[in-house]
Amino acid sequence: MSNTTIDAKLFRSMFLCGAQKLSSNKAWINELNVFPVPDGDTGTNMTMTVTSAVKEVTDLGDTEDMRAICKAMSSGSLRGARGNSGVILSQLIRGFCKVVRDHSAIDTKLCADGFDRAVETAYKAVMKPKEGTILTVAKGAAQKARELADGGTTDFDEFLPKVIEYADSVLQSTPDMLPVLKQAGVVDSGGEGLVQVLKGCYEGYQGKEIDVNKLLNPEPEKEEEKHEAEEKPLPDLKFSYEVSYIVLLDRPFNNRLEDDFRRYLTNIGEEVILVRKDDAVKVHIDTNDPGLILQRGLMYGSLVGVEVTNLRRKDEALPSFEEPKEEPKEEEKAEEPRKAMGIIAVCAGDGLAGIFEGLGVDYVISGGQTMNPSTADILDAVEKVNADTVFILPNNKNIILAANQAAAMDGEKKLIVIPSKTIPQGITAVINFMPDQDPEVNRENMTEEIAHVKTCEVTYAVRDTMIDDVEIKKGNMMAIGDNGIMDVGEDRNTVCLSSLDKMISPETELVSIYYGEDVKEEDANALRDAVLAAHPNCEVEVQNGGQPVYYYILSAE
């Protein structure tokens, strides 16, 4: 191997190793989330983004075709992109690949050109770039790469460590750029994810061997503990965990939800069995992330008979499962006439999905803060809407970039993303949709109306921290508003009422309370009565949202 060039074979290995490094550190990256909510998912989103690209690259086999490798990296990451950091990572990969794809080998100058294009592409994807984030770390890496390449550094043994070292130093300075990071005592999680990718790429450059199975399933043991593992070789399996359980449904489980659940499972595992009978659903899957499977099941009810088996560590033969009889498929409905406009909304919770469907939304993507849908998920939903123009309501600030990316990739329909950051904003957007108006008029009206909606979400803290000069203890109730923490306390209703006091103004006409799966209807009604007593001039509505993680979603408009 020449130290002055990187050929296609080595480039492929570096990418796979970078993905593996990110995957093995995803849980730690998740914990860097500024808000101590129980659904920090930056590491998971970035890992799922890059894993989508890994699958396409490995499907090529051991090809040494640089263009084919770059195409697989780019298309796989773009379609699999989840969350803001995942979308930005996909754009960084796309920009770099655009520069190097037509070359048989990469030297330091071409690498610097690739870094420059990567940063340029990523910044363009973000409407209002903010410094102190993954973008800043990427820009720092690009600046160092350019400085070294233009300064005559041609040896990658010198070039790569210096670029990574500088990127890491920029990452460590992100708390000085964003006060919220400094108060929380963390660096930017997306930036950390990028640095881990770069460090992994360097390990690949140094010759670290790549095992795709291990890439898709990082070992649960820490590196220093691996010497204590069994000496016999582990089974060569694509998926390492077998997960099975029964969901005791506590809400309606229609065909759409069943299809969504099945599609979700098949995207992250194999040997999927999903059988519905009366008020229960049996689930079985071989996967690399049991936690995601369990969390998804909890969206529909309580779990019983949970079994998680590490297939790589078990001595006995794998258990056999009786294959369920295939249920007859529903008769295909005659295709309805194509509409001028349709709407897609993203939400988590059967109640919220029912609200959107009742308002005329054509397709609801199951997801949200607890599981950001990928660009591919959004594109799949677009295909199901028989309309010339499709409006997309992300209803979460961490999904807007993926929706924008989907809009840029689909060439058959006109896709319009309404930048709704919360569920109440999305509901307001749908209410203000007018089927008899031009798409651009609807875009303007819907976007204008969501700006008048104030929202806060109430959940609990998973760790001690400090945000916006507010001290938060593990287990505290937190109300997170449009611009940060609104209130923290030990009593849920007190936190809700205090937050609404800050949201409600003399002009407020309507307060909406969407209660989650962990809240009883009578408790939600009691909160409504307390709000009415404090604000008698407002109309107060209570809706069963059924959302996970967040006890209440509150809005004032």
Least confident of 26-40, 230-244, 254-268: 230-244
- Residue 230 confidence (pLDDT): 35
pLDDT surpasses 80 at 330: no
Name the more confident of 254 and 74. Answer: 74
| Residue 456 parent element (H or E) | strand 454-460
Question: For 74-91, how does the pLDDT look when each residue is reduced to its tens digit (9 = 90+)?
Answer: 999 999 999 899 999 999
pLDDT surpasses 70 at 331: no
- Mean pLDDT in residue range 342-367: 92
Q: Distance of alpha carbon 415 from its chain centroid, rounded?
A: 21
Q: What angle do CA 255, 435, 348 make, to 5 degrees?
A: 35
DSSP 3: T
CA R_g for the chain: 24
Question: For 182-232, how does the pLDDT look when each residue is reduced to its tens digit (9 = 90+)?
Answer: 888 889 999 999 999 999 999 999 998 777 766 655 554 343 333 333 343
- Residue 130 confidence (pLDDT): 87
Nearest alpha carbon to residue 399 among 382, 415, 379, 419 = 419
Instruction: Note the helical H segments in 276-414.
Output: 290-298, 350-358, 375-384, 400-409
Nearest alpha carbon to residue 349 among 252, 429, 276 = 252
What is the rounded average pLDDT for all residues in the chain? 87
| Residue 15 parent element (H or E) | helix 8-24
Place of tokens 């936190």: 495
- CA separation for the pair 370, 353 (Å, rounded): 15
Question: For 522-539, how does the pLDDT look when each residue is reduced to its tens digit (9 = 90+)?
Answer: 999 999 999 999 999 999
- Residue 236 confidence (pLDDT): 53
Residue 326 binned pLDDT confidence (cut-offs 50, 70, 90): low
Question: For 13-22, how does the pLDDT look when each residue is reduced to its tens digit (9 = 90+)?
Answer: 999 999 999 9
Cβ-proximal residues to 60 (8 Å cutoff; 6+ apart), any chain: 68, 69, 72
Q: What angle do CA 118, 120, 126 make, to 5 degrees?
A: 105
pTM of this prediction? 0.74
Question: For 454-474, how does the pLDDT look when each residue is reduced to its tens digit (9 = 90+)?
Answer: 999 999 988 888 887 888 998
A 10 A CB-CB count for 51 gives 20
